[in-house]
Structure 1
Amino acid sequence: MHGATHQTPDAEPGRSRLRLPGTGPRPTPRIVTTGGLTSHVHFLAGPAASTRQVFVLLHGIGMSHRYYRRLQLLLARHGDTLAIDLPGFGGTPTPDRQLSVADYAAHAAAVLEKMGARRVVVVGQSMGTQFATELAVQRPDLVSHVALLGPVVDPSRRTVLQQSLSLGVDCLKESPLANAVVFTDYARSGMRWYLTEVPVMMGYDLDARLALVSQPVTVIRGSRDPIAPRDWCEKLAATAPHGRFLEIPGKPHLVQHGGAAGVAAEILRLAAS
């Protein structure tokens, strides 16, 4: 089923609840190392209940949990949330080798298992859509639903120059606060690691891998996003066996920041499907 909607359903109770400390308004960080790679997991507990949905937020290249802050707070009203700073990003230790998308997905799965997660709604933004898709392909037992926000990379624009120009245009459309988060996160990850992982992002065939995802998928973009064009996002949604497409009016690439309420409503709708 494909098409846009702005309905806001209640989330279906999930299949697991994480047993971790911290129920305040700020995420409780935890350092998790597995297979020689380290992530920082920023946990926010949902409402007290025996079972609740679990949401996992995977950032894009150069970014961290910080640009998910608004969305995480909204989702935490309905379930436990984990925003993961992946290896090399968000102040985590830089790996000693280039990591593939499959490497990131396998690491994320191992982190979730250490955290006690059983069935999760995985949310990815930008390059994080690649991590989320690969995680769903690798571990259908772990992932129940997939939300892809501002996916990359459009095959018709698979060059570093084209993507760089689109990123520059997007910066002109983002809010000053969003740009501040972006540029400080880029500085924290460092140019060397960013450039190490750019070829990985550019080479991942999201179209082909998404066709293998058996879970329900929602592809979401902001209507002013110059990086994830509408026609390609619609094609991606149609490629997924159980996919749908949604556009948030007036929002650029960081749709989870500027359009957090609409994105949260759609993720809750997805989780209830």
Structure 2
Amino acid sequence: MSTPSPSSSPGKPRKLPRRPASSLAEKWTRIDDVDVFYRESPRPPKDARVMAHVHGFGLSGRYLLPTAEMLADEFHTYVPDLPGFGRSGKRRDMLDIPDLARAAVDFFDDRGVEKATLVGNSMGCPVIIEYAHTYPDRIDRAVLVSPAGGAFNQPLRRAIRQLSADAPREPTRMARVAVPDYVRFGVPSTMRMFRALTQYPSLQRLLEMRIPTLVVLGERDPLLPHAHRVDEVASQTDSHVLVVLLEGAAHAINFSHPGQLAHVIRLFMDDKPIDNDPAWPGHVRLYEVHRGKHHPPAQG
């Protein structure tokens, strides 16, 4: 919205230009008769690796922007709202995890992207796992932040209690982002998507993945098992999974701790040891829970 000229009627408040919601460019495309909203690096470096950020249950890509923006100058970054979520149009059929993975492939086909690294949060992680399972030639690396779904989040009333416990652990400004998205998503969609999410075999498919995979967990996340259980699960594979625990974080790490998460992702993408940034506050630390044999050893 433009600023009114000096000739505007006296007494009316002067309107300021609308501040862009993101430093990423906001764009639309149309795929299979559905309008799809996405954000993209406005000036990606030449020959930059493609990185897409995949949102969680009932949400849009908006809450992923703090981390995505920090990486947008190094990677050709996309943050789409998957069909049925956020500002994108809805499909006639309700999407499940395989459908969402297919929608991600369709989005990349539309953008002319052959291969990408996918960074997901919560429900976005099973979507990425299914993407890697079904389209292994289309994914370079996977970053799974606070994976959700499976037996630990069943039944629905338990998941609701976990989400209620998580809410006060997140920054208060997260509510301004999440609540409108949840309201737009609606109760019927929530019930059907929850059923699809909890029935998806995330663990089995994760252990079958053979691409470099980084899992980032929040030490205060009530939606995830304790770290020792994660270590037990991760130890079932020794080839590709690096698990990092972020002290002080809860579930929405992409929103609450973007600097720390972007730091870890950069190191992972360059096959460098994961270390703490000395500029972080004293209460924020990284701990390796598990390191596969194909990852370099940690420093000191």
Could you tell me how far apart the structure 2 residues matched to 1:225 and 1:271 are? 25
> For residue 247 of structure 2, what is the amino acid of its counterpart?
P
**Match among 228, 244, 265 for residue 263 of structure 2:** 265
Q: Does 166-175 or 232-241 show the bigger shift?
A: 232-241
Note the 1:25-36 alignment, pairs <5 A. Answer: 26-36=23-33
> For residue 150 of structure 1, what is the amino acid of its counterpart?
S
RMSD: 1.9
**Match among 227, 250, 266 for residue 248 of structure 2:** 250
Q: Identify if the C-alpha distance between structure 1 residues 25 and 188 changes in structure 2 by more than 3 Å, giving closer, same or farther.
A: closer
Contact (CA 8 Å) 2:150, 2:198: kept in 1 or not?
no
Match of 1:139 in 2: 135
Contact (CA 8 Å) 2:83, 2:89: kept in 1 or not?
yes
- The answer to whether 1:125 aligns with 2:121 is yes
Note the 1:33-72 alignment, pairs <5 A. Answer: 33-45=30-42, 47-49=44-46, 51-72=47-68
Size of the aligned set, in residue pairs, is: 249
Q: Identify if the C-alpha distance between structure 1 residues 191 and 164 changes in structure 2 by more than 3 Å, giving closer, same or farther.
A: same
> For residue 58 of structure 1, what is the amino acid of its counterpart?
V
Q: Identify if the C-alpha distance between structure 1 residues 233 and 259 changes in structure 2 by more than 3 Å, giving closer, same or farther.
A: farther
Match of 1:177 in 2: 173
Contact (CA 8 Å) 1:223, 1:252: kept in 2 or not?
yes
Contact (CA 8 Å) 2:166, 2:250: kept in 1 or not?
yes
Contact (CA 8 Å) 2:169, 2:250: kept in 1 or not?
yes
Q: CA deviation at 1:46?
A: 5.2
Could you tell me how far apart the structure 2 residues matched to 1:30 and 1:235 are? 42
1:76-95 Cα offsets, whole Å, 9 max, x none, are 12111101101111022222
- TM-score scaled to structure 1, two decimals? 0.85
**Match among 86, 90, 100 for residue 94 of structure 1:** 90
1:144-183 Cα offsets, whole Å, 9 max, x none, are 0000011112524421111110000000111110122111
SS for the counterpart of 2:215 is strand
Contact (CA 8 Å) 1:221, 1:233: kept in 2 or not?
no
> For residue 164 of structure 2, what is the amino acid of its counterpart?
G
**Match among 131, 145, 157 for residue 161 of structure 1:** 157
Q: Does 162-171 or 94-103 show the bigger shift?
A: 94-103
**Match among 183, 187, 194 for residue 187 of structure 1:** 183
Could you tell me how far apart the structure 2 residues matched to 1:45 and 1:139 are? 27
Q: CA deviation at 1:30?
A: 2.7
Q: Does 228-237 or 182-191 show the bigger shift?
A: 228-237
SS for the counterpart of 2:137 is coil
Contact (CA 8 Å) 2:52, 2:78: kept in 1 or not?
yes
Q: CA deviation at 1:25?
A: 5.8
Could you tell me how far apart the structure 1 residues matched to 2:55 and 2:22 are? 20
Q: CA deviation at 1:250?
A: 0.4
Could you tell me how far apart the structure 1 residues matched to 2:195 and 2:45 are? 43
- TM-score scaled to structure 2, two decimals? 0.78
Gaps of 5+ in 1: 1-23
Relative contact order (C-alpha < 8 Å, sep 6+): which is higher? 1
SS for the counterpart of 2:173 is helix
Could you tell me how far apart the structure 1 residues matched to 2:98 and 2:87 are? 21
Gaps of 5+ in 2: 1-20, 272-300
1:113-157 Cα offsets, whole Å, 9 max, x none, are 211212211011001001111111112211100000111125244
Match of 2:277 in 1: none
Contact (CA 8 Å) 1:102, 1:134: kept in 2 or not?
yes
Match of 1:9 in 2: none
**Match among 78, 101, 124 for residue 105 of structure 1:** 101
Q: CA deviation at 1:185?
A: 1.2
> For residue 83 of structure 1, what is the amino acid of its counterpart?
V
Match of 1:19 in 2: none
Percent same amino acid at aligned positions?
A: 23
Q: Does 141-150 or 174-183 show the bigger shift?
A: 174-183
